[in-house]
Amino acid sequence: MTQETREEIPFYKNWHDLIQPERLEVNKQTRTDRYGKFVCQPFERGFATTIGNSLRRILLSSIRGAAITSVKVDNALHEFTSIDGVHEDLADIILNFKQVRLKLNDPEPRSVVIEKKGPGVVTAGDINGGPFVDVMNPDLPICTITSDTTFRAELEVKWGKGYQAAEHNKHDDQPIGVIPIDSSFSPIKRIQYIVSQARVG
């Protein structure tokens, strides 16, 4: 069968005459460490919605990231403990730790420390991550110290994917006072895709 004959077969044309994307652009004017806008074009009619929705689901559920998996606060044995000199109870503090967004620059789990002497507000930026852990939302409030006491906690940071309940972060060899917490590992918080007309040719 010659090339000319093969190109006349409908099945061949179904796949080889499809409009395929030619460009993937990054909007440099709006790009930041926490936001990116990308344009890919052109697509066959109807394909952009299908591919856009698939990419959205994959990015939200299947991208690996780092998160806090357990917390150990000085002078606190369980999550219902009240901490002297701290306005929030430990349950509220743990909820705030769940919102901390981290970048782990090491394949192995890392332990980091957050420590601050009051009075004042403890924020995620007070986490001492060393060379391996970067805090992406340093302004996030963790708790409020109402006296001259010191708030100190040890945090375990690990790699993971998707969402992991506290039960899966619990280990038999964890010492007393270590509280496993729910972990959201996805580095992607929100995705929106927009399909618009593109000029072809």
pLDDT of residue 86: 94
Residue 187 has pLDDT above 60, yes or no: yes
67, burial (CB in 10 Å: exposed 0-12, middle 13-18, buried 19+): buried
**C-alpha separations of 128 from 38, 45, 83, 152, 155 in Å:** 33, 51, 21, 11, 10
pLDDT tens, residue by residue, 107-151: 999 999 999 998 999 999 999 999 999 999 999 999 999 999 999
Q: Domains of the chain (ranges plus CATH)?
A: 3-62 (no CATH), 64-184 (2.170.120.12)
* Burial of residue 113, with CB atoms counted within 10 A of its CB: 0-12 exposed, 13-18 middle, 19 or more buried: middle
Under 8 Å between Cβ of 62 and 54: no
pLDDT score recorded for residue 196: 87
Q: Measured between alpha carbons, how far is 117 from 140 in angstroms, rounded to an integer?
A: 17
Percent of the chain with pLDDT over 90: 57
Q: Exposed (0-12), middle (13-18) or buried (19+): which is 136, by Cβ within 10 Å?
A: middle
CA 151 to CA 187: how far, in whole Å? 28
Averaged pLDDT for residues 86-105: 94
Residue 14 confidence (pLDDT) above 70 = no
* pLDDT tens digits along 157-172: 999 998 999 999 998 8
Residue keyed to tokens 């044309």: 13
